[in-house]
C-alpha cells in the first residue's frame, strides 16, 4: 500500500493536489477549533460587516496556511508535514491565549466583537508574525 502511495506522490501534480487537499481540510478543522475558543460567531460577525473579526480571522487563515507552507517545504512526507503544521497550530493557539492574558485592561474577544479595528489588526499581525517564527523552527 505504501509503495503505491509513494508512486502516486512521486508525480508532482498528484503530490501538489494531495498536499493542497490535506491543507484545506486541516485549515477547516483548525478554523473550527479557533471558532470554538472565541466568544463570538466569526462568520455571523463577518456577514454583519465586522471588519475586526474579518482581520482576526484572516490573520488566523494566513497563519495556519503559512505554517503549512513551512511544514511542506521542510518535510518529505505528508504525515510529517501535517504533524508539524498541527504542532504549529497548537503554538498559535497558545499565543492567542497569551495575547488575551497580557491585555488585562480589556478582553480581546469583546473588543474584536465590538469592531475595535485596532485590536483586530493587532490580532492579524500577531497571527501572521508568529506563524513565521514557528515556521522557521519547523524541521
CA 84 to chain centre: 12
For residue range 127-137, what is the model confidence (pLDDT) as tens digits? 999 999 999 98
For residue range 51-105, what is the model confidence (pLDDT) as tens digits? 999 999 999 999 999 999 999 999 878 888 899 999 999 999 999 899 888 888 8
Residue written as cell 496556511?
65
Number of domains in the chain: 1
Predicted confidence band of residue 6 (pLDDT cuts 50, 70, 90)? low
Structural domain containing residue 87:
2-137
For residue range 31-65, what is the model confidence (pLDDT) as tens digits? 999 999 888 999 999 999 999 999 999 999 999 99
pLDDT above 80 for 124: yes
pLDDT above 80 for 119: yes
63 closest CA partner among 132, 139, 2, 137: 132
Q: What is the CA radius of gyration of the chain?
A: 17
Amino acid at each position: 500500500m505504501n509503495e503505491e502511495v509513494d508512486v502516486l506522490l512521486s508525480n508532482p501534480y498528484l503530490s501538489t493536489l494531495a498536499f493542497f487537499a490535506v491543507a484545506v481540510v486541516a485549515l477547516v478543522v483548525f478554523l473550527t477549533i479557533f471558532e470554538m475558543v472565541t466568544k463570538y460567531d466569526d462568520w455571523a460577525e463577518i456577514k454583519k460587516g465586522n471588519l475586526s473579526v474579518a482581520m482576526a480571522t484572516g490573520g488566523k487563515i494566513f497563519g495556519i496556511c503559512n505554517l503549512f507552507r513551512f511544514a511542506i517545504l521542510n518535510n518529505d512526507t505528508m504525515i510529517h508535514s501535517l504533524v508539524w503544521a498541527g504542532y504549529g497550530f497548537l503554538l498559535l493557539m497558545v499565543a492567542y491565549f497569551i495575547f488575551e492574558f497580557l491585555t488585562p485592561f480589556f478582553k480581546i474577544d469583546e473588543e474584536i466583537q465590538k469592531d475595535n479595528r485596532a485590536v483586530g489588526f493587532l490580532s492579524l499581525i500577531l497571527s501572521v508574525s508568529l506563524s513565521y517564527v514557528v515556521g522557521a523552527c519547523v524541521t
